[in-house]
Amino acid sequence: MKKIRVVGTVHCARGWRAAARPPSGVDLLEIRVDALPWPVSPGELARLAARGLPLLVTVRDFAEGGARPLPHELRHQLYQELLPYAWGIDIEAANLDRFSDLVAAAGSAGKTIVASFHDFDGLPSRRKLAGIARTARERGADIVKVAAHVSDRRALAAFLAAADALGEPFAAMGMGPLGKVSRLAFAAAGSILNYGWLGSPQVPGQLSAKALAGMLRGLLDQQ
């Protein structure tokens, strides 16, 4: 997990088509099951997985940016059905306890557990980030991922300074006015999962997976 990964996020029909032949430099595909305009079947996911790139399955909670308000029971069912074909699953840090049996099953199967936290309005304090990370790892998380709103250079500097509170390995990215800059900065600072869109943008401040992969190649070659 030390390799910096570029994640292509698949959340629309156009992105699903692009996932069949992702841009060079994309290492991982995130399948946003909550956002795709049709129910993803295990067979569809198996066929995509057979093309070679590992798949991160996300069924995002509506409270943290999910595309639709899916009941937790349905989210749990979708994760279970798709787990055999996934490299890993992304579950909100706040819901790890609710889905503890799923986390345990995924861990036993050798899957990676990404515990995510989203703040669309601002930046959590360093103390809060440390608490989120500590609890998430105690509940089985392998990677702690935080996305927060980055409004200006002071917010970006504060976020970068606070990221070590997440421990290792971590993933961090900004949304908003300095979102694009933040994704490059965090990738250079050790973020292990760095997200770009396939098909169309998903959140403010997100680069395309193709652009992100190209920029990181140039950036990391200079280090």
CA distance 45 to 80: 13
**Residue 203 has what pLDDT?**
78
Q: What is the CATH number of the domain that holds 163?
A: 3.20.20.70
Which residues make beta-bridge pairs with 194?
6
pLDDT digits (tens, 9 = 90+) for 110-126: 999 999 999 999 999 99
**Residue 202 has what pLDDT?**
82
**What is the count of structural domains for the chain?**
1
Mean pLDDT of 147-174: 95
pLDDT digits (tens, 9 = 90+) for 38-61: 999 999 999 999 998 999 999 999
**Residue 199 has what pLDDT?**
94
Choose between 145 and 204: higher pLDDT.
145
Mean pLDDT of 18-33: 95
* Owning domain of residue 141: 5-221
φ, ψ at 197 (rounded to 5°): -85, 150
**Residue 4 has what pLDDT?**
66
Token readout for 88 is 């890993």
Predicted confidence band at 221 (pLDDT cuts at 50, 70, 90)? Answer: low
DSSP string across 42-64: HHHHHHHHTTS--EEEE---GGG
Which of 61-70, 80-89, 205-214 shows the lowest mean pLDDT across its residues? Answer: 205-214
**Residue 2 has what pLDDT?**
46
The CA–CA distances, whole Å, from 112 to 13, 15, 84, 208 equal 26, 23, 12, 24
CA distance 210 to 23: 5
5, 40, 1: which is closest to 196 by C-alpha? 5
